Structure 1
């Protein structure tokens, strides 16, 4: 392991201050990765819509909605990185995770068709149950997602403090370098909270990871649909 690499988990590094930069991609490298993911997203959207509305099934519609949401989220995330807007950028990780959780929820739901329609109408999955009878609340969804993508639950928990109003937001007004145990100093009220490069780089890795989970689910669904179509089109042996 390189001397400058931190051996803690991704999330421990993302949400804790450390002195040395770990062996993470640079901001420029992660940006390039996300731009490639944007291209993959556009390609997937084109594939899902190639046959027109008649070729889009119910679950296809949900995947398509997730891809369109992801496309906008990636563009917005990159803008927040450029602006060094920590509080907005951190919460965007959950946007991607939220979409992935809903996709996998529909795959394990006892009533998938009804759940898909419910979600597309803006409803919450928690009103439905999975095949084992467990309610599809956020805990069930992110733990099930973790069985496919092991970091999901930890990222869900760590980003909750940015999605919901919490101490993470008020912490942004303290000037860390100027403050002392007996004297807290405020930052300028018109300045965004300070964001160290290590935190930016780690946040980008977390966002890339969450986006890759969503794209992986979409790719798998699209591949499954293609295989099903090829099977149906194949002539039976006589």
Structure 2
């Protein structure tokens, strides 16, 4: 008989923390094989720092029962994945990234090889070409970034149908501390963090000419789709 008991929230958050550790370990492995660092590498390392910081913030917000702010972190993590994936579509990646690094331009002002500006809509479309779940997931997350009905339910503490009344609690923490409410968003954040982490390390590996077999070994995968929700085994 299959155990259908859902994983507790603590276990889901632990999976995110383990992904953070794996990202650091795998990035360190690649850098240790390099013969020098470029501005391009510094850009990727900065994105790794951002990914780790957002993961730490997400875990802290969930542990603090702050659903609304935690949901925003999922979107910002996905934004990182979109921009790292967008490197493939830059007209001259080294030149463009150097311009960003030196403050001469911004990512959104860059032109892609298709002639389009590197705006969110374009970046989302290109990432969704490889990972179809990204499109609808991004659109759903937009409800959390912009004020919408999604911000209503965390303030609802209870209802009384007989008296036709509702109780609201205006506080930084969610009034109903039911961890099941956080399962989907936590699993979504894990999926996005895994995708972001693997994109970052893969770009480092290509830059430093490490063979694909090393990539598969470090993530414990073979032919799985990046970001498919599989944790894999730690190297």
Cα 1:61–1:223 change in 2 (3 A) is: same
Say which SS state the counterpart of residue 159 (structure 2) adopts. Answer: coil
- CA RMSD, aligned part only? 3.1
1:173 aligns with 2:170: no
Cα 1:225–1:110 change in 2 (3 A) is: closer
1:71 aligns with 2:71: no
1:132 aligns with 2:114: yes
How many pairs were matched up? 208
Aligned pairs for 1:1-238 (under 5 A) are 25-47=7-29, 50=32, 55-120=36-101, 121=103, 124-175=106-157, 177-178=158-159, 183=164, 185-190=166-171, 192-193=173-174, 194=176, 196-227=178-209
Cα shift at 1:179? 5.8
Cα 1:25–1:124 change in 2 (3 A) is: farther
Cα 1:179–1:88 change in 2 (3 A) is: farther
Distance 1:186 1:139 in 2: 39
Cα 1:101–1:179 change in 2 (3 A) is: farther
Distance 2:85 2:110 in 1: 13
Say which SS state the counterpart of residue 166 (structure 2) adopts. Answer: coil
TM-score by length of 1: 0.74
Distance 2:208 2:60 in 1: 35
Distance 2:92 2:160 in 1: 55
Distance 1:172 1:131 in 2: 43
Distance 1:223 1:91 in 2: 30
Cα shift at 1:141? 0.3
Cα 1:119–1:148 change in 2 (3 A) is: farther
Cα shift at 1:154? 1.7
Q: Comparing 141-150 with 24-33, which one deviates more in the overlay? A: 24-33
Cα shift at 1:66? 1.1
Cα shift at 1:57? 1.9
TM-score by length of 2: 0.75
Cα shift at 1:163? 1.8
Report what 2:217 is aligned to: none
- In structure 2, the gaps of 5 or more residues are 212-235
Cα shift at 1:93? 0.6
Distance 1:110 1:184 in 2: 59
- 1:149–1:213 Cα contact (<8 Å) kept: no
